Amino acid sequence: MMPTESTLPSRARAAYERGRWRTAAAEALWLVPFIALAVRHCTHLSIGCVASLALLACVGTLRWRGGIWGRAAVVGAIAALPALLMPLLLPCCIDCPPNLSAQTCGLLCGTLGLFSGALLGSWSARQGTDRHRALIGGGLVLAACSALGCDMVGLAAIGGLWIGATVATASALSWARA
């Protein structure tokens, strides 16, 4: 059956959106190897699985949305990669006695949170009128990605990272306003 002239625009729009979703899903798949490594070492498997799904959904949706939202997803993921990879690169965070591991890696997660938040905040501050959208989009990805990494250490490390990221992001945005 040939499409009528009245249905052609809606069919074209649907094809366009399907293409955008396929592209966004393919772009989100670069995180899968990092997620697989992180989930393998998570101390709380349920948190790791939820954070993984949230991360993939968030990155895919933001990349599909495009514009400042899509760029914020990439910056948020890049800012969180050190926190995601830190427990994998420093075996003391996983294999040491619990008291040393919690103290050392909790401090490292907080420090990485400051670094990640400063990176995201300084990038968001340069986005002009879109800085709030950039901060929200990047912050969602940063939160999910870093929770996945710091969960390998424990829940306190996630809190330390998020506090560090919040302080650094707020400081960067305040400094940019002045």
pTM for the whole structure:
0.77
Q: Are 94 and 108 in contact (CB under 8 A)?
A: no
Secondary structure (3-state) at 178: coil
> Residue 116: what pLDDT?
83
* pLDDT < 70 positions in the chain: 1, 42-43, 87, 90-103, 105-106, 150-158, 160-161, 172-173, 175-178
Task: Judge whether 168 and 121 are in contact, CB under 8 Å.
Answer: yes
Residue matched to tokens 């995201």? 120
Looking at residue 175, what is its pLDDT?
A: 66
What whole-number distance in Å separates Cα of residue 107 and Cα of residue 45? 22
In the chain, where the domains are located = 8-177
Find the DSSP H helices in 29-154. 32-41, 45-65, 67-89, 92-95, 98-125, 131-150
Residue 168, C-beta contacts closer than 8 angstroms, at least 6 positions apart: 113, 114, 115, 116, 117, 118, 121
Q: Contact, 63 vs 21, CB < 8 A? A: no
Q: What pLDDT score was predicted for residue 82? A: 81
Give residue 68's pLDDT. Answer: 93
Are 65 and 21 in contact by the 8 Å Cβ rule? The answer is: no
